[in-house]
Amino acid sequence: MGKQYDKVLKKRRRLAYLERKKQKAKDAAAAASKPKARKPQRKAPAEKAAPTPAPAPAVEETPAAAVAETSPVEETAAAPAE
């Protein structure tokens, strides 16, 4: 009787599986027919403008008198090539 009983158990498991499968399909169909609450869509991001170059740092102009006060670079005579 062992083999016969195993067949009965196998059939019960199979029928229970098919019932669960049928119930899941029914639930999915019901969920699909319900209207879903829609989330408000985000606005598309605006196109970014081309990056503007950073302004150049302000260079202080030195007066001509200040330039004259600095010592001029002494030019050295190059040694004659032989």
CA 18 – CA 10 distance, rounded (Å): 12
Q: How confident is the model at residue 35 (pLDDT cuts 50, 70, 90)?
A: confident
The stretch 6-18 carries a mean pLDDT of: 97
pTM of the model: 0.39
Is 21 domain-assigned? Answer: yes
| Number of folded domains that form the chain | 1
Is 22 domain-assigned? Answer: yes
Q: How confident is the model at residue 67 (pLDDT cuts 50, 70, 90)?
A: low
Q: Which domain holds residue 21?
A: 1-30
Is 2 domain-assigned? Answer: yes
pLDDT score of 31 more than 70: yes
Half-sphere exposure in the Cβ direction for 56 (13 Å, CA): 3
